[in-house]
Amino acid sequence: MHELRKDPLLGRWVAVMSDSKSPGEYSFPSGNSEETSCVLCPGREKETPLEIASIRDGSRWLTRVIPNFKPVLHVEGDLGRKGVGMYDKMNSVGANEIIVDSPEHTKEPEDMGAEQVRRILRTYRERVADLEKDQRLRYILIFKNSGKGAGAMFSHPHSEIMATPIIPKLIKEELDGAKQYYAYKERCIFCDIMREESRVGERVISETRDFFAFSPFAPKFPFECWILPKKHACAFQDIEEGGIEDLSGMLLTVLQKMRKVLGDSPYNYFVHTAPNRIPRRNHWHTLGDDFHWHIEIMPRLHLTSGFEWGSDFYVLTTSPEDAANYLREA
């Protein structure tokens, strides 16, 4: 029989089908595009908004950060919080940047090798460190859309950053869930999840010195994978060079495994780190102890329907245990 499972962090229930679909049974829009060059390619730098940062080898850039062509959030201006009748609004202050992951148009991170993934991670860290200085910004979300079916605007490999003057709802829920768990148990829920997954083993995908990758017990999407630092840490941006080295190997491994199992299916990933401007520890707040940064990777193998949008309840057509098994063996 199918079963229902509860996500221990958010309290969200999902249904896990007893007869798991194999990877070949999914049909998804290919992530590949016909294009072989675009405005994000080397040589067309003058057609993009002004470069914010880059990692270079001499005059040649290896990763490059630019503002979004049509940014949702703008760096200028004050917050302008105000009420309108019974509602609340504010100015769209923040940052919306594109990180060009590589000079090569047709190579995703999983094709690039660990050295390029390290550069991407260093670029992430540098941008977060820079943006978190802005007192108006409350949260910095790093995410990646790979393939049209995952909402990618460009076929050139890229990541994005959205720095918002509010804490987005999902982040707030994760923080609240982790805080509640900590208040009751005096332990980090993410550390407990890793211990449990390590003990059980059936949802483990890969392990390195510093990182742990697994299929969550009750995820939103089939073949979803989370990567956590083994040592408790609330903020991605505090990662050191050795951690980046280890994480680049882990991210590469997981993305390559996904490619082997799921072909060039569209996917998203995002980094969930601690918000800005919240003291990490004081007499009433324990953010440094209760939140644990992590990366969530979501293959986009099917379209969502009115059921998911109307309930925030998800159906897993492949069980997390079977998904982990396919990925572990790949």
**Residue 24 or 85: which CB sits closer to a second copy?**
85
Amino acid at 277: R
Tell which residue, 71, 73, 93, 72, has the closest CA to residue 81.
93
Footprint (CB under 8 A) of a second copy, residues 190-219: 192-193, 196, 199-200, 217-218
**Residue 72 or 129: which CB sits closer to a second copy?**
72
Candidates 63, 102, 116, 145; binder of a second copy (CB under 8 A) is 145
Shortest gap between Cβ of 299 and a second copy (angstroms)?
A: 11
Three-class SS state of 74: strand
Tell which residue, 155, 167, 109, has the closest CA to residue 297.
109
Q: Using the 8-state DSSP alphabet, how is residue 284 labeled? A: S
Footprint (CB under 8 A) of a second copy, residues 303-322: 303-313, 315
Shortest gap between Cβ of 218 and a second copy (angstroms)?
A: 7
**Does 268 participate in binding a second copy (rule CB under 8 A)?**
yes
Candidates 151, 176, 209, 282; binder of a second copy (CB under 8 A) is 151
**Residue 208 or 278: which CB sits closer to a second copy?**
278
Alpha-carbon distances, residue 296 vs 64, 141, 157, 213, 215 (angstroms): 23, 12, 18, 10, 10
Task: Retrieve residue 118's tokens.
Answer: 């390290």
Shortest gap between Cβ of 154 and a second copy (angstroms)?
A: 12
User: Per DSSP, what are the bridge partners of residue 63?
Assistant: 55
Using N-to-C axis directions, what is the helix angle for 114-131 and 241-262, rounded to 10°?
A: 120
User: Per DSSP, what are the bridge partners of residue 315?
Assistant: 15
Footprint (CB under 8 A) of a second copy, residues 220-259: 220
**Residue 61 or 73: which CB sits closer to a second copy?**
73
Q: How many CB atoms lie within 10 A of CB 264?
A: 16
Site map for a second copy, 24-63, x if CB under 8 A? ----------------------------------------
Candidates 22, 35, 49, 72; binder of a second copy (CB under 8 A) is 72
